[in-house]
Amino acid sequence: MVVLDILDAIDNAPPGDPPWGLRLCEQTGYGGGTVYPALDKLLKARWITDWWEEPQPADRPRRRFYRVTDDGRETYRNILAAREERRTARARLRKKPSSPAPANWHASVSGATSSASGRRDQYTGVLFTRVMVPGPRPPDPPTSVLFATASNELL
């Protein structure tokens, strides 16, 4: 996020070497059309403060320096903490269960015409997937039932 990248660059600048607009563009990798409007918004929100370089150098235009305010620093750290909490919560939700399937569950192979995972039959185009379902294992189908059509009708 642009605002967080800019706040990070400003907040981590050495005290004796404050960042200016072009340096922020270089540090964040964003262009001036992105950085300068974001800086204006941060100034209006009073998350950062600015001042002009004094005295003006003879060989280049003077620079406008930026520093994070106390309110901006507190808000920035709260945003980072909330972001980390969301990432942790998402990681917990994505975590796969470490225990195996219960003993009364079995693998069932089913045919479907579309799915995100599985093995597609090269002749019929049916996509077979393996899923775990509760209950006792059903009897194996007769060996004469070998193929399923694309419409899932047994031949």
Domain ranges of the chain: 2-94, 102-155
Query: For all residues of the chain together, what is the average pLDDT?
Result: 78
Torsion on CA atoms 64, 60, 31, 46, rounded to nearest 10:
0
Confidence of residue 56 (pLDDT cuts 50, 70, 90): confident
Q: Is the pLDDT of residue 116 over 50?
A: no
Q: Is the pLDDT of residue 82 over 80?
A: yes
Overall fold of domain 2-94: Arc Repressor Mutant, subunit A (1.10.10)
What does the pLDDT read at residue 15? 85
Confidence of residue 155 (pLDDT cuts 50, 70, 90): very low
Q: Is the pLDDT of residue 64 over 90?
A: yes
Confidence of residue 148 (pLDDT cuts 50, 70, 90): very low
Q: Is the pLDDT of residue 122 over 80?
A: no
